[in-house]
Every structure is written in structure tokens, then in C-alpha cells.
Amino acid sequence: MRVVIAEDLALLRDGLVRLFTAYDDTVVAAVSSGPELLDALVEHRPDVAVVDVRLPPTFTDEGLVAAIEARRRIPGLPVLVLSQYVAQLFARELLSDGAGAVGYLLKDRVGDVTRFVESVRAVAAGGTVMDPQVIAKLLARPTHAGALGRLTPREHEVLALMAQGRNNAAIAAALTVTEKAIQKHINAIFAKLDLTSADEHRRVRAVLTFLDS
């Protein structure tokens, strides 16, 4: 797996380089600013980018802006954002094309190395991975309006776990039910959100509907 890293804190950036190297991945670029990130993404077209939201020169949203611009130029470019904060702008902007291959983790998740690497690989493979704390914050917002208002409490739980990037087996294990039961819930979610079987990205679109509620 070819990785681009964008992180202004040298200690964390070097730590990420060492981590991916230890897992036999290749870090093709490790940069510390928004302009450097965009150049690196366009030049290297990595299998995945691990990006901090706040980068020099202004430390606002340079990482996010660079990632969005890179995905505009290279549709579907896998991007996993690492942040100290829950920035809902990320979900609205970076997920807006419905193409998947995106993730959002809080930085303390790096401490669980195995889970972190699994999340990065899931994004590289086209999945959508959301930090549980991000999901918890989104769940605290009113979600009874519109299509989501038709979901049952259990279907909300299933959709929240889908938004974390979990597959059906992992969702079944988390809720202590069978995979068959989870598939039944997911089919009901798709139907209530008017997502037909002809839509190959309907799982991503269901998550996007949830995040944008």
C-alpha cells in the first residue's frame, strides 16, 4: 500500500511513517502543509492519504481543502482524515460525492495500532470509516426529520455502525444478532431511504444521508 501522510507535528508524522513501514507499506510522501499535500497527492496518486485537517500556513482547514481538491482532480482518491476535533464539515464536504473511500478518525485512535491500520486499509479498499465519537455526536443531533425519521431505533443503530465502516459480520457481532438479521435491517434501511438495488453505491449513500442529517 502506497501512502501519503500530511501532518505538521514532526513527532506524529515520523511516528506514522515508522508505523506504516513496519506494516510493509510504502510512504511515498510525508508533508507538513496544505500546498505540499495537494502536490504530493496529484504527483503520487497514492493508495490512501492520511491527512490532518489543520495544516500550515493558516492552521484552519488546509488539509481538508487539499484533500477535497485532490479528489476533484482524482475521483475516488482514498482519504482518511486524522483530527483532534469532530469537524462535521468533513462529513458534508468530503463525502458529498458519494464515492466512498473516505474516513474520519480522532488522533487518539492511532494508539490502537492494529485497529488504526485496519481502518486505513478499509478506506484504501473503498470503504467509509467514521470514528465512534463522531458518530456519537451525530446521533445526539435531531434525526427524526425526513427519511431517517422512518427508521426504527434498531435500524438507526445498524446505520450508525455502517457509518463506522463495519461490515455485516462486525455489525452482527456488535449487536449480538445474526448476519441474516443485519441484512434484513439493511434492506429495510435501503427501502426507507429510497435506495434501489440498481445503485451500486447505496451503502455509501445511506451513510451519507445519516451523516448529513
pLDDT in tens, 61-120: 888 889 989 998 998 899 998 888 766 655 566 666 666 788 888 888 888 898 899 999
CB neighbours of residue 98 within 10 Å? 14
- Strand blocks (E) in the chain: 2-6, 26-31, 48-52, 79-83, 102-106, 128-130
Segment of 81-85, 131-135, 157-161 carrying the highest mean pLDDT: 157-161
The domains found in the chain, sorted by start residue, are 2-132 (3.40.50.2300), 142-211 (1.10.10.10)
CB neighbours of residue 176 within 10 Å? 6
Confidence of residue 144 (pLDDT cuts 50, 70, 90): very low
Confidence of residue 16 (pLDDT cuts 50, 70, 90): very high
Q: Which residues contact 58 (CB under 8 A, 6 or more apart)?
A: none
- pLDDT mean across residues, the chain: 85
Q: What is the pLDDT of residue 161?
A: 87
